[in-house]
Amino acid sequence: MKGSSSKLPGGVQQAKLLARTIKAQRAPQWPTVPTTELPPKHICDVLVDGYLRTIEILYRIVHIPTFQKEYEAIWRTGFQSNSGFMVQLKLILAIGATLYDSTFSMRIEATRWVYEAQTWLMSPAFKSKLGICFLQNNILVLLARELVDVGGELIWISAGAVVRSAVYMGLHKDPAQLQNMSFLDAEMRRRIWNTILEISLQSSLVSGGPCFISLSEFDTQPPGNFNDIDLDSAKPEPKPSSHYTQASIAIALRQTLPARLAVVKFLNDLFSSGTYQETLRIDSDLRAAYKDVRHIIQKFSTDAASAPTRFELQAVDFVLHRYMSSLHVPFFSASLHEATYAYARKTVVESSLKLWSLAGSSRALTASPSFQYGEGDLPRLCRCGSGFFRAFAFQSASLLGVELRALYQEDSISDINIRPDLLTIVEDAADWYLQCIRAGETSIKGYMLLSVLSAQINAIKQRVSKEEMSVIIVKTAEDAGDLCLPLLEELAGYKTSEDAAGIFGSVDFQQSPDFLEDWDTLMADVFNFGPGASFD
């Protein structure tokens, strides 16, 4: 490919330049001074509800009654809200915007709200703002940056600063040790510390950086089993553990923290043993923790009056299967050829199938770009939002594609021997990624990879020669680029390809040195045809 006359390098470079143009158009001027301007109330209501029923239930950050009281107050004529709350509200609106519609039509507004929050957080008067609201807004800006895709790849760095801010404020010490603190304040400190642990762990898993958290360095207890309204009482009694509350999901995930922390430290720590035996030991602990959580949640579900929502059930499964899959991925490539690692292969495939099913792929999604379909909150978060949910949905589909390819490379395997849910998964995933681009994703790499993987699998089924395989893959990658470029041009505001020509100037697409930047690593396994094979 690198020495060929293919139009692929030019298409890739063109897509990169379009992506940069789109991102530049979305970004407001920096610094972005926070304002009091908001969308109409009926739209804000929808955005706030989207946040409260999803991200807030998973990561407890605000006291909902207090937030709603101040939220309603800002709509009264003459009411002056403090700047900290307005920043908090706009971050909540930005997160809610990822769920607003099927195309993330409020992405530009959401990006501006994130920029306003970053400006507020970076103002010089740091120490005077250091309080619970400051921590809440720091957590919200991490989540918003990731979901809206505003510097989301650097969340791990920022998450470390939030951990240190919380420790400076003493949140790593249980509030029971502190004097003259209201029950509400004490419980909010527990909730916020719990959320900081969760985000620190998650950012470490995504980035591959070490998680600078140890179970011996804090004694803050998990949140109590309270509904938010209970915290307004002087000394409320916690609900029984079998009773579902607005804190139940956060509490359930906290119970799995030691097992998930062990996964991240095993994967990312510099002096980790990295042995398969240690993998199996950690796997056993993680499965035991997952089993306990599932048992607790099933108890909740038997009480229709106080049961978790569909999103909550799906989100817990998504989070825990992500750690389970990640634990075994280092051995997945070897497992395709060595029976010693068969358990790792089985775990990666089963967890990836679960993750992909939760992402909600369906061929119906791409029947028409304007087709209105019933899409749950988690599938929409995976498709319209960036970061943790999107990345692992995509990676799961890619791993399943590699598994399917390996099965067809075994001479004794045919369609009859392969489970039906694997057969169409790569084609479905490519269609799904195309919908991600229609919702504002600017990178075409994912769609190109999945398209190439699907074409390679079909070529293996037809037993084509290596020479034919190379031609098929190059043609598929070119076709994928041809399909995606008009979508990027539309996102950039160009009506035709001729309108876009001005941004490319005299770039030599065939000779540009960075057109394959970060592609070789990403595509290496897809283009691996076996010993002695070439793709030139």
Summarised one tens digit per residue, pLDDT across range 441-455 is 999 999 999 999 999
**Shortest CA distance to 94 belongs to which of 138, 134, 140, 63?**
140
CB 161, CB 112: distance < 8 Å: no
Domain presence at residue 507:
yes
Q: Looking at the domain assignment, is residue 271 inside a domain?
A: no
Mean pLDDT of 16-23: 96
pLDDT of 286 over the 90 cut: yes
Residues 6+ apart with CB under 8 A from 364: 371, 373
Most distant pair of Cα atoms in the chain: their distance: 77
Contact 152, 386 (CB under 8 A): yes
What's the pLDDT at 18? 97
d(CA 524, CA 536): 14
- Domain tally for the chain? 1
Q: Which residue has the tokens 């919200």?
A: 140
| pLDDT score of 24 more than 60 | yes
Q: Using alpha carbons, select from 373, 331, 329 the residue that is nearest to residue 355.
A: 329
> Is there a domain that residue 229 lies in?
no
Distance CA 396, CA 323 (A): 12
What pTM did the predictor assign?
0.91
Residue 432, CA distances (Å) to 130, 205, 372, 454, 527 in order? 42, 24, 15, 13, 22
Look up residue 194 and give its two tokens. Answer: 């719990």
Of the candidates 355, 313, 388, the residue with the CA atom closest to the CA atom of residue 142:
388
Q: Is residue 205 part of a domain?
A: no
Average pLDDT over residues 174-197: 96
Per residue in 104-149, pLDDT tens? Answer: 999 999 999 999 999 999 988 666 678 999 999 999 999 999 999 9
Distance CA 89, CA 71 (A): 8
More confident residue, 513 or 107: 107
Whether 404 is covered by a domain: the verdict is yes
pLDDT of residue 462 exceeding 70, the answer is yes
Spatial CA neighbour of 490 closest among 445, 528, 438, 530: 438
- The candidate with the shortest Cα–Cα distance to 199, out of 162, 247, 240, is 162
Amino acid identity, residue 124? P
User: What angle is formed at CA 18 by the lines to CA 369 and CA 103, rounded to 5 degrees?
Assistant: 25
Out of 32-46, 492-506, 507-521, least confident range: 507-521
Instruction: With a cut of 50, say whether residue 228 has pLDDT above it.
Output: yes
> For residue 422, what pLDDT is reported?
87
Query: Which residue stretches of 27-54 are H helix?
Result: 41-52
Residue range of the domain that includes 328: 1-25+309-527
The encoded tokens of residue 245 equal: 């509350």
CA nearest neighbour of 187 among 66, 308, 63: 63
CA–CA distance from 325 to each of 201, 454, 521 (Å)?
Answer: 15, 22, 20
Q: Name 476's Cβ contacts closer than 8 Å, sequence gap at least 6.
A: 451, 452, 454, 455
**Alpha-carbon span 518 to 173, nearest angstrom:** 43
Pick from 491, 477, 479: nearest CA to 519:
477
CA angle 147, 398, 480 (to 5 degrees): 85
Amino acid 369 reads P
- Residue 197 near residue 221 (C-beta atoms within 8 A): no
How many helices (H) and strands (E) are present in the chain, helices listed first?
23, 0
Nearest to 321 by CA among 223, 389, 384: 389
| Mean pLDDT value across residues 215-231 | 97
Q: Which residue has the tokens 């358990």?
A: 343
pLDDT(525) > 70? no
Q: What is the pLDDT of residue 414?
A: 67
pLDDT of residue 66: 98
What does the pLDDT average to over 193-215? 97
pLDDT of residue 508: 42
Q: What's the pLDDT score for residue 523?
A: 42
Predicted confidence band at 512 (pLDDT cuts at 50, 70, 90)? very low
pLDDT exceeds 50 at position 518 = no
- End-to-end Cα, the chain, rounded Å: 5
Name residue 118's amino acid.
Answer: Q
Distance of CA 202 to the CA centre of its chain: 9
Q: What is the mean pLDDT of residues 45-67?
A: 98
**Model pLDDT, residue 418:** 82
pLDDT at 440 over 80: yes
Mean pLDDT, rounded, for 200-212: 96
Q: Is residue 198 within a helix (H) or strand (E), and if so which, with residue range? A: helix 183-207
Using the predicted structure, report yes or no on whether residue 240 has a pLDDT greater than 50.
yes
